[in-house]
Amino acid sequence: MAGTSDLTRLTIADAGAGLAAGDFSARELTQAHLDAMAAARDLNAYSAETPDQALAMADASDARRGQGDAQGPLDGIPLAIKDLFCTEGVLSTAGSHILDGFKPTYESTVTQQLWDAGAVMLGKTNMDEFAMGSANVTSHYGPCLNPWKAASGDAAGKDLVPGGSSGGSASAVAANIALGATGTDTGGSIRQPGSFCGIVGMKPTYGRCSRWGIIAFASSLDQAGPLTRTVRDGALMLGAMAGYDPKDSTSVDIPVPDYAAALTGDIRGLRVGIPAEYRMDGTPPEIEALWQQGRDWLRDAGAEIVDISLPHTKYALPTYYIVAPAEASSNLARYDGVRYGLRVEGEDIIDTYEKTRAAGFGPEVKRRIMIGTYVLSAGYYDAYYLQAQRVRTRIADDFRAAWDKCDVILTPTAPSAAFAIGEKMDDPIAMYLNDIFTVPASMAGLPAISVPAGLSADGLPLGLHLIGPAFAEETMLRAADVLETAAEFEGRQ
């Protein structure tokens, strides 16, 4: 049997192989993670740990394997689950005070599929409240820390944010206290924390994974995806997470391919688009340089680099900050203190609503509810919401035109490396700009992935971002795998 710390450093693929070979049991693998979690609580990556459940699931996995009935590459693999997923009998709060004590009687489709594939739940991970944030600082459970530290610069020695909103999931995977984690991505909430924590974060095509049982932020944008230490692990997790669900009208009924089989390493002739509009003023030179490096790596692997234009890129972020809050303002109306979660009793029902929501939602959630309510209001609807929907169509059209010229698009993931906790807190716009490169793909519903590609001058991870056509996850993953190989990213030492 390998040493405990070795077990937590495995990839999902290698752990699966070790389990299959009988090198260690699922229980040993799970226990190693539970021990590591206990030792890493200062990260605040988990908002709820489920050790009993984890060990029971691990034992069940070992029993299956003992009977020759192992379910596949995820059987016995310990995973962390973003707290946005409803998990039966386990606290599910979306990082919000308003869902205090909420233990669903149901299991989200995506997590159920993971458990059906034999995976083991370690716990629920910290996140920005209702997935609204890019630094995991809006959580009711306090900020989550990035396991990385800057070696130099302004942030040297300070606690850094893991990105957000799937900050706890990214931090857990980067800190080796989960082999992989689920996240959700609305405007970049998987990819940006992936970039900040030096791991792979993938947002599949909208409709690829069921949203049933995932606490809604912005329904037309939310999509579940994996955070993993390798592209291959992401492919393995997505294989179990994806699939049509009749309970989600927006899920798409097309077969789930063997994503790992797409990782051939061969991208000869692949056309990689470089969108001119992603060269933005103020982007740090080291990010520009990494982007150039990414182009070179892919070209060296036989890809063809193509200049493309996505003219409406600059409208994506402002448009996103109309559409997402609009939907959120409505989605969050159900948190009224009547049926579950927090209730602050008032004089009458209206007073109870007001007191409950005033106490239960944090400032960022309130800000977005206000924005969303405003843009849907009579007299403003046409100018904001309707206009935003029109622009959204243009953004999707830009991509559609681009696919005539290229097969995937390469961009930076985020405009900076991880920053110190407390930064940008007083400036929502600066915080929102974190998603400048990730939001356009979200608006178009396209699959995208962040691959750790290098380090900043201060020694912090930086990701490169690949966007693919709808349901072309295989092509995107193949390119991501080549990028990962070329980058030889070491991970956190």
Partner 1 sequence: MTDTAPDHLSGHVTTRIGHNQKDLVEGATGPWEVIIGLEVHAQVTSEAKLFSGAATAFGAEPNTQVSLVDAAMPGMLPVINRECARQAIRTGLGLGAQINLRSVFDRKNYFYPDLPQGYQISQFTQPIVGEGRITVDLPDGESFEVGIERLHLEQDAGKSIHDQHPQKTFIDLNRSGVALMEIVSKPDIRSGEEAAAYLGKLRSILRYLGTCDGDMSQGSMRADVNVSVRRPGEDLGTRAEIKNVNSLRFVRQAVDYEVRRQIELIEDGGEVDQETRLFDANRGETRSMRSKEEAHDYRYFPDPDLLPLEFDQAFVDALAADLPELPDAKKARFIDDYGLSSYDAGVLVAERETAEYFEAVIDPAGAKRDAKLAANWVTAELFGRLNNADKDITESPVAAVQLGGLIDLIADDTISGRIAKDVFAEMFDSGQEAAAIVEEKGLKQITDTGAIESVIDQLIADNPDQADQYRQGNTKVAGWFTGQAMKATQGQANPQMVNQILKDKLGG
CB of 218 to partner 1, least distance (A): 7
Interface pick for partner 1 out of 4, 309, 330, 485 (rule CB under 8 A): 330
Q: 76 and 120 in contact (C-beta within 8 Å)?
A: yes
Q: Where does this chain touch partner 1 (CB under 8 A) — which range of 54-62, 64-72, 146-154, 218-226?
A: 218-226
Interface positions, 238-277, toward partner 1 (CB under 8 A)? 246-250
Q: Which of 326, 479 has the CB closer to partner 1? A: 326
Q: Where does this chain touch partner 1 (CB under 8 A) — which range of 217-225, 227-235, 269-277, 314-322?
A: 217-225
Q: 418 and 460 in contact (C-beta within 8 Å)?
A: yes
Name residue 87's beta-bridge partners: 90
Torsion angles phi and psi, residue 318, rounded to 5: -60, -35
Active site (annotated) includes residue 166: no
Interface pick for partner 1 out of 289, 338, 358, 430 (rule CB under 8 A): 338
CA 134 to the chain's CA centroid = 11
Stretch 353-392: interaction string toward partner 1, x if CB under 8 A: x-------------------x--xxx--x---x-------
SS3 398: helix
143, with CB counted inside 10 A (0-12, 13-18, 19+), is: buried
Q: Which of 297, 353 has the CB closer to partner 1? A: 353
- And the tokens for 99? 């869902």
Strand 304-308, strand 78-82: pairing = unpaired
344, with CB counted inside 10 A (0-12, 13-18, 19+), is: middle
CB of 220 to partner 1, least distance (A): 4
Q: Which of 96, 413 has the CB closer to partner 1? A: 96
CA 216 to the chain's CA centroid = 14
Q: What are the CA-CA distances from residue 270 to residues 32, 204, 302, 307, 409 (Å)?
A: 41, 20, 7, 14, 11
CB of 366 to partner 1, least distance (A): 15
Strand 200-203, strand 271-275: pairing = unpaired
Interface positions, 185-214, toward partner 1 (CB under 8 A)? 211-214
Active site (annotated) includes residue 189: yes
CB of 109 to partner 1, least distance (A): 9
Q: Which of 245, 398 has the CB closer to partner 1? A: 245
Residue with tokens 């097309």, as numbered in its chain: 254
Q: Which of 172, 224 has the CB closer to partner 1? A: 224
CB of 214 to partner 1, least distance (A): 5
Active site (annotated) includes residue 82: yes
Stretch 309-328: interaction string toward partner 1, x if CB under 8 A: -----------------xx-
Interface pick for partner 1 out of 47, 50, 108, 195 (rule CB under 8 A): 108
CB of 358 to partner 1, least distance (A): 14
Stretch 472-491: interaction string toward partner 1, x if CB under 8 A: --------------------
345 binds partner 1 (CB under 8 A): no
- And the tokens for 6? 């070795």
350 binds partner 1 (CB under 8 A): yes
CB of 385 to partner 1, least distance (A): 6
Q: How many residues does the chain have?
A: 493
User: Of the listed 47, 189, 251, 456, which one is catalytic?
Assistant: 189
342 binds partner 1 (CB under 8 A): no
At a CB cut-off of 8 Å and minimum separation 6, what does 83 contact?
47, 48, 91, 92, 93, 94, 95, 124, 125, 126, 127, 168
How many residues at the interface with partner 1, by CB under 8 A? Answer: 44
CB of 204 to partner 1, least distance (A): 18
The one-letter code for the residue type at 173 is: V
Interface pick for partner 1 out of 77, 174, 216, 467 (rule CB under 8 A): 216
Task: Please tell me whether the peptide bond between 165 and the residue prior to it is cis, using omega within 30 degrees of 0.
Answer: yes
CB of 256 to partner 1, least distance (A): 20
At a CB cut-off of 8 Å and minimum separation 6, what does 53 contact?
90, 121
Q: Which of 274, 324 has the CB closer to partner 1? A: 324
Residue with tokens 């200049």, as numbered in its chain: 307
At a CB cut-off of 8 Å and minimum separation 6, what does 352 contact?
336, 337, 338, 343, 344, 345, 346
Q: In what order do the strands lie in the sheet with 78-82?
A: 46-49, 120-125, 78-82, 180-185, 223-228, 200-203, 448-455, 461-467, 408-412, 271-275, 304-308
Q: Which of 27, 392 has the CB closer to partner 1? A: 392
User: Of the listed 96, 165, 195, 210, which one is catalytic?
Assistant: 165
Q: Which of 382, 426 has the CB closer to partner 1? A: 382
Q: Which of 174, 365 has the CB closer to partner 1? A: 365
Interface positions, 78-97, toward partner 1 (CB under 8 A)? 85-86, 92, 94
Q: 198 and 173 in contact (C-beta within 8 Å)?
A: no
User: Of the listed 82, 124, 203, 424, which one is catalytic?
Assistant: 82
Round to whole Å and give the CA distance between 76 and 72.
9
List, by residue number, the catalytic residues.
82, 165, 189
Please report, as ranges, the residues that interact with partner 1 according to CB under 8 A: 85-86, 92, 94, 99, 102, 104-106, 108, 211-216, 218-220, 246-250, 326-327, 329-330, 332-334, 336, 338-340, 349-350, 353, 373, 376-378, 381, 385
